[in-house]
Structure 1
Amino acid sequence: MIGKLDLYRVFSIVAKHHSFSKAAKELYMTQPAVSQAMLQLERELDTRLFNRSPKGVTLTTEGNLLNEYIHSALRLVDAGEEKLLEFKNLTTGQLKIGVGDTISRFFLLPYLEAFHTIYPNIKLQIFNGTTVEICQFIKSGEVDVGFCNLPIEEPTFQLTICTEVQDVFVCGEKYKTLAQKKINYEELLRFPLILLEKKSNSRRYIENYLLTKGIQIEPEFELGSHDLVLEFARSNLGIACVTKEFSQDYLQRGFLYELTLVDSIPARHIGMCYVKSVPLSRAAMKFVEMVEHKHIQIKI
């Protein structure tokens, strides 16, 4: 049985040609099938839509009125199908990513550049925040994918380990003699400490590790960005805990010195996450595939 939308499509073609036979040719249908379809539509609407004659068909007053609306409606349907095809082919759409400034700068930018090169018409929206805030963005649907400091405890998330990072303590010129020997945490606590603010996931990781050693820290400075931590250490305001991979420029240029600890802090990871139960958009799926390539996928 022909559906109502199909009947309207046939109606539109017949109205265009004023002929069942010409409509049948365009639609790759038989002329009797077209005629039967229009009779079915007229029965369903309880209205005569065509004046039939040996020379062809013309629209009745009611048929003309219906044709105006059907023509507009079918154009909207066709436009919608074209938009869906554009999304499918990634010639339009958007990708919303949650990420902190430091991870964005030192890890994510090459992926964003590569994705934008391949899919230049996909609009990229970046939502900045801490790991806790990014997890909330993901749960609320504000972003498709997030990049966080691991570990996080979110059973509803699919996680992919992206890269390993190492937390280290560094100092400026004033304290550089500390970098010439191995020191323990008790000795480290004699100096003013510079750390990220408490809501930072990497800060919590450091604190939790030190608590396993029976050490509780009270930093002199608690800052909102990794760049500020580096600058405070460079300005000799104290000893800073930073991510080594994100501090290479300062270390290589001799602005900061890495301290050698008797017990090194265990490495941790940067991870990509999204909600398991929510299907990703095609753009998000392609981006996830790009990041996951050559990386290990894990489940909590």
Structure 2
Amino acid sequence: MNISLRQLRAFLAVAKLRHFRRAAESLHLTQPAISRQITDLENELDVRLFDRNTREVVPTEAGRYLQVALERVLEELEGVLAHVHSESERRHGKVRVAAVPTLSAGLMPQCIAACAQAYPELTVQLHDQAQVMVLDSVRGGEVDFGLAIEPGEKETFDCETILRDPFVLVCHRTHPLARLTAVPWKKLRGEALVLLDHTSGSRRLIDQQLAAHGVQANVVQQTGHTHTAFRMVESGLGVSVTPRLSLPASDQLVTRPLTPTASRAITLIRRRHRSLSPVAELVWAQIRAMAAQLPQAPRASLKDAKSA
């Protein structure tokens, strides 16, 4: 049956008030509109709901039965709809976010702190994972959404790129490349490289850039964490390429922009065609806003590039 909520509410108003005009006024409608809705309802049910004459409108036996049943059902329905609406206004609960290590350390702490201040009853639970595990966690529904490097299999996810994070060179302050203001990728030919392993979303992009600039990578060490790579560079084992968001905290190391600039796409991901809960939407928006506030990548000047 093609029966609308408007028709049922119009029926109840007429049944209670026993008058079409007063029913129309109570619903802020015109009398012809009310009459049309009642007629359409009767036609759909194939039963007469009111006996009408010039003096009164009286529910028929079928109309009286429908009135009693509808009063109970609509009250329950309005309660359900009110509950659903209140869920959209909710500001408490737990949101699970998976993030790759460089973003867990470089972006998420600020986002979690901002959420804690804006929404004290909201808990953000961070899952610090390698890229492949972040994708698996999102795909399997173990987390609400993820923060990762733009995945190769984007068709599996709904993605929103929120930041471009450029790659930089990290070397010991005594290394010859430290004297340059900007370092062309081709300068890495023959250099001993300490890179993240292939569980990192950045490694695929770094390998692509090295190949694009004709650099046959001399990878002497592969690590699962940037901190380990930096300690190896500190010990003189080689140089490293890292995203700018994961800069080392060491007075023995320096960073230099790589030219031409190449960036990784920082991307919020969720399961394709799956809506986020209202509280997860809040955290998603907070991460997006925090990323927008980060300073843009500095660009090496033409002079600097030539001197390199």
TM-score range, shorter chain: 0.5 to 0.7
Residue in structure 1 matched with residue 202 of structure 2 by the alignment: 202
Provide Cα deviations, 1:246-287, integer angstroms capped at 9, x if missing partner: 21644xxx32123565x4351222111112301111111122
Matches within 5 A, 1:210-225: 210-225=210-225
Please provide the CA RMSD for this pair.
3.6
Residue in structure 2 matched with residue 74 of structure 1 by the alignment: none
* Contact 2:229–2:240 under 8 Å retained in 1: yes
* Contact 1:230–1:247 under 8 Å retained in 2: no
Q: Distance in 2 between matches of 1:87 and 1:218?
A: 55
Moved over 6 A (4+): 80-86
Matches within 5 A, 1:187-198: 188-198=188-198
1:84–1:183 Cα change, 3 Å: closer
Matches within 5 A, 1:16-95: 87-95=87-95
1:258–1:152 Cα change, 3 Å: same
Unaligned runs of 5+ in 2: 1-63, 70-78, 293-308
Q: Distance in 1 between matches of 2:142 and 2:124?
A: 13
Residue in structure 1 matched with residue 24 of structure 2 by the alignment: none
Q: Distance in 1 between matches of 2:99 and 2:149?
A: 10
1:122–1:220 Cα change, 3 Å: same
1:260–1:112 Cα change, 3 Å: closer
Q: Distance in 2 between matches of 1:98 and 1:274?
A: 10
Residue in structure 1 matched with residue 264 of structure 2 by the alignment: 268
Provide Cα deviations, 1:45-97, integer angstroms capped at 9, x if missing partner: xxxxxxxxxxxxxxxxxxxxxxxxxxxxxxxxx9x999878754435422010
Q: Distance in 2 between matches of 1:130 and 1:207?
A: 18
Query: Does structure 1 residue 177 correspond to structure 2 residue 176?
Result: yes
Query: Does structure 1 residue 134 correspond to structure 2 residue 144?
Result: no
Aligned residues: 223
TM-score of the superposed pair, with normalisation by structure 2: 0.61
* Contact 2:234–2:252 under 8 Å retained in 1: yes
* Contact 1:230–1:240 under 8 Å retained in 2: yes
Task: Look up the SS of the partner of 1:241 in the other structure.
Answer: strand
1:183–1:273 Cα change, 3 Å: closer
Q: Distance in 2 between matches of 1:292 and 1:187?
A: 35
User: Residue 280 of structure 1: which of 259, 276, 279 is its match?
Assistant: 276
Provide Cα deviations, 1:147-203, integer angstroms capped at 9, x if missing partner: 112353312422222222111222114x42222247665653433211001221101
Q: CA deviation at 1:118?
A: 2.3
1:287–1:186 Cα change, 3 Å: closer
Matches within 5 A, 1:148-159: 148-150=148-150, 152-159=152-159
* Contact 1:176–1:257 under 8 Å retained in 2: no
